[in-house]
Chains A and B, each alone.
Chain A
Amino acid sequence: MSKQYFSTSLTPEAHPADIFCVETTSEYAITSSGNSTLKLWNAASNDHELVLTINTAHRLGIHHVCANKELGLIAAVGFDGEISVWSLQDCSCRAVISDPKTAYWAARFSADGEFLAATSLDGGITVWNTASEDFEKCGELETKGSSGLAIDYSNDGRFIASGHENGGLYVFSTETARLLHSLPGHIKAVRAVSFSPLSKLLAAGGDSNVITVYDVTSGEQVFNLSGHSRWIMSLDWNFTGEYLLSGSFDKSLKIWSIEQTECVSTQTESDSAVWAAKWTKTAGTARPQGFVSVGIDKTVRWYREATGG
């Protein structure tokens, strides 16, 4: 059975440069762009107006952004290789994390907000304690040295997954700080990794154009999702774990049913590559869960499921 989504609202020229990433919280969609600003858009209203602009010090532009609702923190990673952490309450900069020996790339908070983890271009993964004053480094995970392009923290806090430029895909146990699985299936760059809400499944995608789904405990590849014609840039599960949202260089967004293991909806509104897409987190409200997408066209697009269909 296919599902119907429609574009409810769009903001063209949301940033003057490419929008490389989007993150959602129950209140906002947060976009990060090549022009060094973070923008917070109202996720709950109908016209999704701009609520706040944060001017960061990432002069070379920002690619990744992640947020944690519990802590009210946003972390932005710039092309300069530094991570800046911002407080949602007063938009002040809480910390700047940098390492002259490497450049950080993708970052994720743990669900409880206790930790922040980031990949770097030299392949390592660093974990920081967010409770400490200056974001003290509390762990380092070793990989085989290929640039880490994607990271996710499982909701139960037990796993970290990372995707790498050489096709490497790893699952680490946070309890032992050890590698749990080195997952096969990709020989080209892995640009997106995402744990299902119950931390049972892991989805990964990238330059092979195929989404692979694994059982986190056993490391078994459970199924593949094929349909995108170009690189997969972004993956996100809806809050029930029934649907997976993918954004691709082929300009489209796809919604995949996990039960049917097939694509149930394709959105082709953008005429250029999609850099990122995320489900909204305004759950608990009456409206069904929608999603937001961003990309080269500098536009923020909001989608909602067609009801009564």
Chain B
Amino acid sequence: MSFTQGDDVIEECLDYRSEESREEILGKIETLISDLMAGVAETGLAAIRLSNRRAAESIRFDKEKLHLTARDAADTKQNIIAFPGPTILNSWRFAVLMRTLDIISESLTSGKVVTKRDIYYRETWLFRNQAIVDRIVDDIGRTLNVPRAALGIVAAQKGLACGTFCMHKKDGTLMAVEGEIQLIPPFEEIKSVDVMDIDFVLVIEKEAIFRSLCSSKFYNRADIGRSILVTGKGYPDLSTRQFISNIAACHPDTPLFGAVDSDPYGIDILCTYKFGSRAMAHENSHLTALKMEWVGVNVLEYEDGWTKLSVGDRKKALKMLSLPWMETEAAMAMRLELQRMLFLGKKAEMNVVGTEANSVITYLTQAIKIRLDALITH
């Protein structure tokens, strides 16, 4: 289960801030739904043709390349999923399809990448098991003729952890190598996590910064002590949030820090760890880590390196400011940060803090040291 560079998980992780292709796929989904509505108006029956990518008719053997390949969309076997359907099973399939399309549109609109597991956990009573989700997602991809990653869905877990800890998995494997980057497995595969003598846990938004911290052995330093470093690669998946929430709950005295970009997405990612996500509201009690303390970056700390807040950033910031819990004491620092971004029209990425090459590491070391020292004096 150990993680090596070049694993397809990295490539599959989309840039959740890019907007172009998302628009196009959202358009395709809209067409699918408007065709459906037209059908309802005409026949009184809601029906969708869904490509069945596993049916024998959908697959052919490529004699040149010597592997199985999908036929052209036109030749793919199509299942008609209708509501009300001829059987209860058919109606249920329709509900599964609609809910999945809904979740895909939502993730495309917000730009958040979700894993198949995230989708299953959104509606466990509906989907019944993970395989149903895996299948419907692939069928939707085939029907819309786009790769699954373009739907904003990744297959595997994407969270990474590194540092001094020891994880026992239920299948008997032990993950315990200090300094080796580990993929965070689904919560139910973990038997226990032994955290040995650490001084803090640091969650980092960006994978690149996480990796440079790991290679500089940030998890074991003379000045700030030993730690576990975690990244959710942008918006964290369920496994990462469960992992963090669990460590926070089991080690109430260990400080938990979050390092994100000073832009509305960075603040939203921090809020996802701290307060939970709206998508998983029914599970948030096991997923949040309210005590996570924000260590930066702060838009005011920059001497240079700001970029202009885009129209999309402004919208995102305003939407976040209008959330009711943004007025609570716990969210005050984030609220002020969002307002300052809007007031200045500027945002700042973590990797350009300071001017020297190692400046992110220097910055984080100082930010964490100040907070650890403050804990000692109290």
Question: In the complex, how many residues of chain A place their beta carbon closer than 8 angstroms to a beta carbon of chain B?
Answer: 21
Cβ–Cβ < 8 Å partners of B343 in chain A? 18, 20, 63, 275
Interface residues as binary, B315-358 with A (CB distance below 8 Å gives 1, 0 otherwise): 00010011000010000100110011011010000000000000
In whole angstroms, what is the CA distance A17 to B340 when docked? 10
Would you call A79 an interface residue if the criterion is a C-beta within 8 Å of the partner chain's C-beta atoms?
Answer: yes
Cβ–Cβ < 8 Å partners of A79 in chain B? 318, 321, 339, 342
Do B321 and A189 touch across chains, with their CB atoms under 8 A apart?
Answer: no
Would you call A152 an interface residue if the criterion is a C-beta within 8 Å of the partner chain's C-beta atoms?
Answer: no
Do A147 and B345 touch across chains, with their CB atoms under 8 A apart?
Answer: yes
Cβ–Cβ < 8 Å partners of B314 in chain A? 103, 121
Chief secondary structure at chain B's binding surface: helix
Cβ–Cβ < 8 Å partners of B332 in chain A? 16-17
Query: How many A-B residue contacts, CB cutoff 8 Å?
Result: 43
Cβ–Cβ < 8 Å partners of B327 in chain A? 59
In whole angstroms, what is the CA distance A272 to B308 when docked? 22
Interface residues of B in 302-320 (CB under 8 A from A): 308, 314, 318
Interface residues as binary, B257-282 with A (CB distance below 8 Å gives 1, 0 otherwise): 00000000000000000000000000
Cβ–Cβ < 8 Å partners of A306 in chain B? none
Cβ–Cβ < 8 Å partners of B308 in chain A? 165
Partner of B321, one of A16, A18, A60, A275: A60
Cβ–Cβ < 8 Å partners of A61 in chain B? 321, 335, 339
In whole angstroms, what is the CA distance A60 to B341 when docked? 13
Would you call B300 an interface residue if the criterion is a C-beta within 8 Å of the partner chain's C-beta atoms?
Answer: yes
Nearest-neighbor residue (CB-CB) of A230 within chain B: B303
Cβ–Cβ < 8 Å partners of A17 in chain B? 332, 335-336, 339
Nearest-neighbor residue (CB-CB) of B300 within chain A: A273
Would you call A27 an interface residue if the criterion is a C-beta within 8 Å of the partner chain's C-beta atoms?
Answer: no
Do A34 and B345 touch across chains, with their CB atoms under 8 A apart?
Answer: no
Chain B nearest CB, measured from A223 CB (Å): 27
Do A149 and B335 touch across chains, with their CB atoms under 8 A apart?
Answer: no
Cβ–Cβ < 8 Å partners of A18 in chain B? 336, 339-340, 343
Interface residues of A in 90-137 (CB under 8 A from B): 103, 121
Would you call A296 an interface residue if the criterion is a C-beta within 8 Å of the partner chain's C-beta atoms?
Answer: yes
Do B318 and A34 touch across chains, with their CB atoms under 8 A apart?
Answer: no
Chain B nearest CB, measured from A116 CB (Å): 21
Do B300 and A80 touch across chains, with their CB atoms under 8 A apart?
Answer: no
In whole angstroms, what is the CA distance A275 to B336 when docked? 14
Chain B nearest CB, measured from A144 CB (Å): 16
Tell me whether A189 and B336 are in contact in the complex, defined as CB-CB below 8 angstroms, given that A59-B322, A79-B318, A80-B318 are known contacts: no
Nearest 3 pairs between A and B by C-beta? A60-B321, A34-B339, A61-B339
